[in-house]
Structure 1
Amino acid sequence: MGNVQASTAPPGSPSDFAPPPPPPPEGEKKDAIVQDLPENPGSLEDLHKKVKDLMPICFEGARVIVNKGLSNNFQVSHTLNMSNLTPKGYRFGATYVGKTHYTPEDASPILMGDIDPSGNLNAQCVSQLSRRLRGKMVAQVQDNKFVTTQFSGEYTGINYTATLSAGNLDFKSRSGVLVAQYLQNIQPRVALGAEYAYQYAPQIPGGGVSVLSLAGRYTGEQCVIAGTLGMVSAHASYYLRTNSSTQVGVEVETNYRIGDSVATLAYQMDLPKGNMVFRGMVDSTWTVGAVMEKRLAPLPFTFCMSAMLNHVKGSSRIGLGLIIG
């Protein structure tokens, strides 16, 4: 998915001199999280997105990323990873954002992809077919073979979202995965939903297996609580914005089948005056990771530092990066 840049009023426009809106009556003041909560709850896929966005993306070695905008709709990137881990080497990426707008926030179509010299490809296409219907396609090619393919359609209702996805369909071997998701706001702060997944293949006993999961989310004044309970796994998350610069999240993922459970604490701290962003995490496997991003204003450079340490295995990863553009 891509981010769509919102247009702002030019300097000196009437909006710059308009008086501020009057404060809401006492008892009706709402936090930004609740105030911005749309009638539509979004997709079930993004149920734990608040906490996932706080997780640092740690890397090893050296990384250089050069972003270049060729037009208002087209951007390319060059990424060089110098590391002992994959992905490494050079990758070329491109992003195209179309001019069709069914809503002020979304543009269509959105095409994104990156490829390395060996032909390994990651590609994604998102198209807003109508005001309420959106299609998405994801493909991944490794060693000249399609290792991942996914097609999905998402219908956005007034207060619900229904999604149907099909992944890794192989008509020759009669295998694939089908997933149906539904999430609905039953109150302004409460959303409930369910997910049904069915995987079929000749090697599966009985020809296929299905999994049903129930989900729920509560959005408070400063927090978001979400949970997913399935037949083989459970996932719970808690997000809290402590102030304008600090966010904290906790999640617990449990797999009944293998008897494993992992708890993770993550945080993000923004320092606007210093042009810095810190993200960090620690989990129950004794893994600690952090990423620091420093904007080198007025230059279009961002300096990154990454570190991860596993106290049980005694392994560590340290990385330095530079983003240009």
Structure 2
Amino acid sequence: MGNAEGRAPRRAQPRGNPGSFDELHRLCKEVFPPQMEGVKLIVTKTLSSHFQVTHTVHMSTLGPSGYRFNATFVGDRQLGPTEVFPMLLGDMDSSGSLNAQALHLLGDHLRAKAVFQFDGEYRGEDCTATLTLGNPDLLGGSAPNWVTTLNVGYGGAHASYYHRANEQVQVGVELEANTRLQESTFTFGYQLTLPGANAVFRGLLDSNWSVGGVLEKKLPPLPVTLALGAFLNHCRSRFHCGFTVTVG
């Protein structure tokens, strides 16, 4: 049937650019609870609208304890809530290892990212330099309530799917295949937001029979967030828990 007289032909609405590939991965990653063990104190200080520093002290019974310092500088050109250019990030731990990243916008469509890594390792009179090349990103797509990504490289493949059911419930699924180790891992995670209680709960279950969860609780009007997490692997009989205090 033809269009009604005087009616313009119907066109599909443009979906728009899904955003940077790192941003697509971040949405799914944030659904999963972060690994927690021991006690961690995080203090964040905003020095200006462009500069922020973070101090992290971690005390662990399973791994090494230490201190970590992070500094972030952001520029004036903002394309989205998390996309500001140029951006400089630096991270140093108590052993002297330094990692740095620089992100810059070249023109309107080209984004450049440089990663610098310096290891605080001394071997006589020689030095060790490392160059890391990331896997090429082949596919990424999104819609208002879901994001799917695919990353393929020489070492294997990584796929993820993120879905926001509503303002309180978000879920994420990851599939990672390692061709060198000849193994694959499947992970399912979810996030429940409780606005009335100022709390967020994140849980996960993977194909290695590991289960875990982290409960975060904000304490307004204080700029303090408390987090308690626990993780259990049934097959390996491993259990660890952690507690984090974030100020700022």
- Which of the five TM-score ranges fits, normalised by the shorter chain? 0.7 to 0.9
Query: What corresponds to 1:136 in structure 2?
Result: 113
Gaps in structure 2 of 5+ consecutive residues: 1-9, 122-126
Following the alignment from structure 1 to structure 2, what is the Cα–Cα distance between the partners of residues 267 and 50? 11
Is 1:116 aligned to 2:93, yes or no?
Answer: yes
Label 1:224 to 1:179 Cα distance change in 2 as closer, same or farther (>3 A): closer
Label 1:281 to 1:147 Cα distance change in 2 as closer, same or farther (>3 A): farther
1:136-215 to 2 correspondence within 5 Å? 136-144=113-121, 148-149=130-131, 167=132, 177=133, 180-181=136-137, 194=138, 215=139
Following the alignment from structure 2 to structure 1, what is the Cα–Cα distance between the partners of residues 242 and 61? 11
1:63-102 to 2 correspondence within 5 Å? 63-86=40-63, 88-99=65-76, 101=77
Cα shift readout 1:96-115 (whole Å, capped 9, x = no counterpart): 1123x274654322111121
Give the TM-score taking structure 2 as reference length.
0.79
Query: What corresponds to 2:39 in structure 1?
Result: 62
Following the alignment from structure 2 to structure 1, what is the Cα–Cα distance between the partners of residues 220 and 128? 42
SS of aligned partner of 1:322 = strand
Query: What corresponds to 1:206 in structure 2?
Result: none
SS of aligned partner of 1:93 = strand
Bigger relative contact order, structure 1 or 2 (CA pairs below 8 A, ≥6 apart): 2
Which AA in structure 2 matches 1:74?
F
Following the alignment from structure 1 to structure 2, what is the Cα–Cα distance between the partners of residues 123 and 67? 18
Gaps in structure 1 of 5+ consecutive residues: 1-27, 29-33, 150-166, 168-176, 182-193, 195-214
Cα shift readout 1:258-300 (whole Å, capped 9, x = no counterpart): 4322211100111111111111101010111111111101111
Q: How far 1:252 sits from its partner (Å)?
A: 2.3
Aligned length: 231
Query: What corresponds to 2:6 in structure 1?
Result: none
Cα shift readout 1:32-73 (whole Å, capped 9, x = no counterpart): xx99x5x22334455544322211111210000111111111
Label 1:235 to 1:299 Cα distance change in 2 as closer, same or farther (>3 A): same
Label 1:243 to 1:138 Cα distance change in 2 as closer, same or farther (>3 A): same
Identity of aligned residues (%): 43
Give the TM-score taking structure 1 as reference length.
0.62
Which AA in structure 2 matches 1:69?
T
Query: What corresponds to 2:3 in structure 1?
Result: none
